[in-house]
Amino acid sequence: MRIEILTLFPAMCEAVLGESILGRARKNGLVQIRARNIRDYTLDKHRRVDDAPFGGGYGMVMQCQPIADCFRALCEEWGERPHFIYLSPQGKTLTQARVKELAQLPSLALLCGHYEGVDERVLESLVDEELSIGDYVLTGGELPALVLCDCVARLLPGVLAADAAFANESHYAGLLEYPQYTRPAVWEGRAVPEVLLNGNHALQEQWRREQMQERTRRKRPEMME
């Protein structure tokens, strides 16, 4: 899969993309994720990409031309049109179900807004989908874009050690993940459940399934509906 982040702060994105599991996946050629500077495509001699909003108001608005030219240059380079997502607090909330769908696509382009957002005409003419990582507002779209990259990349073949690494995680199967324990078996008087120590794998799987249901019912009852 190829993912391109359209941003005004590519160094911010690269600082995250080069580390941990994402960094190894990129190095091993399991996923291609790059950050492209929108400012490189502005026609303004001062490299400006924003202007005051029509009708007044606070802040500045990102202009159509730099974003459109940046995206079209990407399409021309790749020889295809990637699914274009704008990270926005007005978008649909990102879910694990949507992440699984996005992981099946060959390519994604992620638009990071700043200031008071982007000119609405870009959204109308170019963007395929708006996504939000929660009902709150950040200073820009880079963090949400990186969250989306992480969510999608870890579902790709070979990125994690095995499919089982994520198949029982919270939200993947519609339930929260079961409790996890490691050594020591007793810590400050708190013991690991005996079922995890007896070597009976069938009972352990049954316990995990029961815990997933109980934990979801207790912590996120709306998911049980």
Query: Of 153, 184, 200, which residue sits at a domain end?
Result: 153
110 and 206 within one domain: no
pLDDT of residue 223: 86
Please tell me the total count of domains within the chain.
Answer: 2
Q: What is the bridge-based pairing of β-strands 50-51 and 61-62?
A: antiparallel
pLDDT of residue 172: 63
143 and 184 within one domain: no
Residue 5 and residue 125 in contact, taking contact as beta carbons nearer than 8 Å? no
Separation between Cα atoms, residue 7 and residue 93, nearest integer Å: 21
175 and 131 within one domain: no
Q: Residue 215's domain spans which residues?
A: 168-224
124 and 194 within one domain: no
Query: Of 153, 185, 200, which residue sits at a domain end?
Result: 153
pLDDT of residue 213: 94
Residue 159 included in any domain:
no
pLDDT of residue 161: 79
Q: Which 8-state DSSP code applies to residue 88?
A: E
pLDDT of residue 165: 53
82 and 46 within one domain: yes
pTM recorded for the entire structure? 0.88
54 and 8 within one domain: yes
pLDDT of residue 167: 56
Residue 144 included in any domain:
yes
pLDDT of residue 171: 59
39 and 11 within one domain: yes
Averages of pLDDT over runs of 10 residues in the chain (225 residues) are 98 96 96 98 96 92 98 98 97 97 98 94 97 96 98 96 58 83 95 96 96 94 87
pLDDT of residue 156: 97
